[in-house]
């Protein structure tokens, strides 16, 4: 019952891994190189070295669930967006299907539903997320798709919302709240084929993501 965390070394990925480890949830952090290992090893988190731009099939060995929270980052160009956020996600979905993985959790984005509505510089990223989400839906792999709003570095409140109507138009959500939401979803193994927008709000995570 191990969850493979793709994108474990990212800002959300690290916070999620710490929460999952504290909760006793078996996880395997997929990282790009050995230089990233010490942070995880000191916290007792299993790692596997693999790269979304290379061969990463071995990372799936013994895992029954996948959490994809990888991203090319804000400082890369459209080429990396295509290779990581789109093609990397597609390859991960294909491997999940081949290996008979029980569930695939995708971290997407709220504006991925309408990439042209996003700020111009974010449109390639949103288009990649739109296509990756569509590929996952069509794959037949049991799925959850989480669509956070604009990410912030505010502390975790563990209180969220799923619509702009609830928040009065505020579209932000802290990375910490996203990590807590993912930790909840990873444990909620009977929850499949659902999609959630995630914003900072007033309701407890367990109530919202049910």
Q: Note the pLDDT of residue 80.
A: 87
Q: Note the pLDDT of residue 15.
A: 98
Q: Note the pLDDT of residue 79.
A: 83
Q: Note the pLDDT of residue 74.
A: 63
Q: Note the pLDDT of residue 166.
A: 96
Cα distance between residue 124 and residue 46, in whole Å = 33
Whether the Cβ atoms of residue 202 and residue 159 lie closer than 8 Å to each other: yes
What are the pLDDT digits (tens) for 13-26? 999 999 999 999 99
Range of the domain at 192: 2-208
- Active site (annotated) includes residue 135: no
Cα distance between residue 53 and residue 82, in whole Å = 11
165 phi, psi to nearest 5 deg:
-65, -40
* Residue 172 burial (CB count, 10 A): 14
- CATH number of residue 94's parent domain: 3.40.50.720
Q: Note the pLDDT of residue 72.
A: 76
Buried b / exposed e along 9-29 (16+ C-beta atoms within 10 A): bbbbbbbbbbbbbeeebebbb
- The DSSP code for 169 is T
Task: Outline where the chain has alpha helix (H).
Answer: 11-22, 37-41, 78-80, 89-99, 123-139, 164-167, 175-187, 205-208
Tell me how many domains the chain contains. Answer: 1
Whether the Cβ atoms of residue 44 and residue 20 lie closer than 8 Å to each other: no
| Marked catalytic residue, from 125, 126, 132, 179 | 125
Q: Note the pLDDT of residue 203.
A: 98
Q: Note the pLDDT of residue 112.
A: 93
Helix (H, G, I), strand (E, B) or coil at 144: strand
| Positions in the chain short of pLDDT 70 | 74-75
Cα distance between residue 159 and residue 81, in whole Å = 31
pTM: 0.96
């Amino acid at each position: 019952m191990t969850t493979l965390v793709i994108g474990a070394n990212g800002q959300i990925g690290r916070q999620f891994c710490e929460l999952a480890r504290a909760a006793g949830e078996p996880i395997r952090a997929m990282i790009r190189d050995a230089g990233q290992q010490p942070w995880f090893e000191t916290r007792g988190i299993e790692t596997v070295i693999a790269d979304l731009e290379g061969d990463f099939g071995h990372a799936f060995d013994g895992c029954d669930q996948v959490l994809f929270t990888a991203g090319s980052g804000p400082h890369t160009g459209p080429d990396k967006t295509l290779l990581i956020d789109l093609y990397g996600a597609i390859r991960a979905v294909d491997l999940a299907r081949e290996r008979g993985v029980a569930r695939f959790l995708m971290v997407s984005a709220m504006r991925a539903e309408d990439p042209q509505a996003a700020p111009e510089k974010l449109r390639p990223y949103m288009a990649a997320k739109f296509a990756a989400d569509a590929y996952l839906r069509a794959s037949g792999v049991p799925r959850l798709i989480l669509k956070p709003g604009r990410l912030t570095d505010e502390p975790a409140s563990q209180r969220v919302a799923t619509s702009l109507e609830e928040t009065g138009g505020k579209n932000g959500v802290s990375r910490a709240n996203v990590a807590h939401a993912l930790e909840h979803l990873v444990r909620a193994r009977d929850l499949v084929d659902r999609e959630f927008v995630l914003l900072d709000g007033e309701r407890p995570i367990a109530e919202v993501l049910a």
